[in-house]
Amino acid sequence: MDLVIQKYGGTSLGDAGKIRRVARRIAAADGSVVAVVSAMGRTTNSMIELARDLTDTPHARELDLLLSTGEQASAAALAIALHELGVPARSFSAHDCGIITDGVHGRARIVNVDPVRIRECVQDGHVPVVSGFQGLSADNGELTTLSRGGSDTTAVALAAALRARVCEIFTDVEGVFTADPRHVADARKVDRLFYEDMAELAACGATVLAHPSVEYAGAHRVPVHVRSSTTEAAGTWVTGFRSAAPLDGERFTAVGVAHRTGQLRCRLDGVDPGALTTIAAALADPMPPVDMLGQPAADASAGSLGFIVNAADRDKVDEALAGLRAADAFTGCHWSGPMAKVSLVGCGFCAHHPQVRLLVDALKARGVTVTDVIVRARRISITCAEHDVLNAVTHLHRMFLGPGTLADAHPHGGRRHAEHRAHAPGPQRRHPDPQSTEAEGIRHEGSIGAHGRKG
């Protein structure tokens, strides 16, 4: 079966005219299509605001039910538009599409996909229109929602389960960029990215693809094509891996700059060394993601532990820390911020690499006060004041990805990775990639992603 999964974000479904345009694209497609939709426009945000107007602590189950209505409305509306074009279609809610989750409200993860009814719908010549962002709990059958951007994950999961040729993510931008094109004039669209590069960019703030969707795509070797919903132009392909394992002396390679605002730093003082693993476990799944600091902040005392978290997730973190403090895992807790986190993403990074000092010194010379430095194998992140974030993003992009930098000086800089790609798992035969990553020139590609289209 020549099947394509097409996912449409909220900005592509913002009004009746846009819904008709999406319906025409689906009707004109070659082969079978399964459509996955987000809520229209700002529907999800409006629902969250409604819940917050009613209470500071919305009941998790009821909030999931409220938020799920946005995607269900989009699915039904698109199915109506398809019928008007003479295309038989059927909308599917969480109760119909066979997506089973771990049952965590608001942050559910997909544990199984059995799309029997969707497959039958395709075989009958109909277009299934699936409500993204939701599934049913494996424990009790309750409706649960995935994390923000969960419709991307729904689409990728269905592509894997239905053995689709490709998962197309349609959005309001042309593809994936080396930085946010709204703020960086010389940001450029890229043709291809490896799964691990896109996953790191998504985790650091790129919103063109939800982080869980990229991880799922990599695990199941689903080729993902990020493209504009208003043109026929090719976008960005996300597929393939750099190598099975990091290479000794792997060259420092930047692929993109991403950022997040609304970050808070939490410092725990008087940390019991024997409780470190307990603290780490408490701040792990299913908690919101936290970024542990490589070293304490300058104002920290001995025996302290620091981490950074999204401001919206503070209540959940405080709840987890309350039990730890009662168990004497630490003696004090101090919050500061809000601040921004800016990340240079790529590979071959290490704490003693001269590029780290170059990066920090260059930002200081630009008037950016760097508060924290976090070095991982695939990124260097710094924190700064929110009013400095665009200055930092623009300058880092100019240094490492702009015209005349190493990225342009070595147009085939990805050759070293390409030479070793034979050791990496490639796309499975059932997911052929029309634009193979065996092409050279990967090293200077990157992303920060689109904006305002999660759902």
Residue 379 pairs in a beta bridge with: 345, 376
Distance CA 230, CA 173 (A): 9
Quote the pLDDT of residue 348. 81
Quote the pLDDT of residue 20. 97
* Neighbour-count burial of 285, counting CB atoms closer than 10 A to its CB (0-12 exposed, 13-18 middle, 19+ buried): exposed
> Radius of gyration over alpha carbons of the chain, in Å?
22
Distance CA 183, CA 177 (A): 12
- 291-292 and 236-238 beta bridge pairing: unpaired
Quote the pLDDT of residue 357. 87
Enumerate the H helices of 85-194 as residue ranges.
116-123, 150-161
Q: Chain centroid to CA 67: how far?
A: 19
User: Residue-wise pLDDT tens for the chain (455 aa)?
Assistant: 689 999 999 999 999 999 999 999 999 998 999 999 999 988 999 999 999 999 988 999 999 999 999 999 999 999 999 999 999 999 999 999 999 999 999 999 999 999 999 999 999 999 999 999 999 999 999 999 998 889 999 999 999 999 999 999 999 889 999 999 888 989 999 999 999 999 999 999 998 999 999 999 999 999 999 999 888 899 999 999 886 545 555 577 889 999 999 999 999 999 988 888 888 888 886 677 888 775 444 455 568 889 999 998 898 899 889 989 999 999 999 999 899 999 999 888 877 778 888 899 999 999 999 999 988 888 999 999 999 999 999 999 999 998 766 444 433 333 333 323 323 333 333 333 433 333 222 222 333 443 333 44
Distance CA 236, CA 175 (A): 5
- Do 339 and 371 form a contact (C-beta atoms < 8 A)? yes
Please give the full DSSP string across 69-90, using - where no structure is assigned.
HHHHHHHHHHHHHHHHTT--EE
Element (H, E) at 332: strand 332-347
| Token digits of residue 452 | 């305002």
Q: Which residues contact 28 (CB under 8 A, 6 or more apart)?
A: none
CB half-sphere exposure, 359, CA atoms < 13 A: 32
User: What DSSP designation does 146 have?
Assistant: B
Sheet of 332-347: strands edge to edge? 291-292, 305-310, 253-269, 332-347, 379-384, 372-376
**What stretches of 138-248 adopt beta strand conformation (E)?**
143-145, 166-171, 192-193, 224-228, 236-238
CB half-sphere exposure, 221, CA atoms < 13 A: 15
- 99-101 and 110-113 beta bridge pairing: antiparallel
Quote the pLDDT of residue 424. 31
Residue 127 pairs in a beta bridge with: 89
Residue 341: C-alpha distances to residues 80, 126, 138 (Å): 43, 46, 36
Quote the pLDDT of residue 243. 66
Distance CA 201, CA 197 (A): 6
Domains and CATH numbers, the chain: 3-238 (3.40.1160.10), 253-408 (3.30.2130.10)
- Do 348 and 253 form a contact (C-beta atoms < 8 A)? yes
Q: What is the pTM of this model?
A: 0.83
Distance CA 73, CA 113 (A): 22
Quote the pLDDT of residue 404. 63
Distance CA 27, CA 127 (A): 9
Sheet of 143-145: strands edge to edge? 110-113, 99-101, 134-137, 143-145
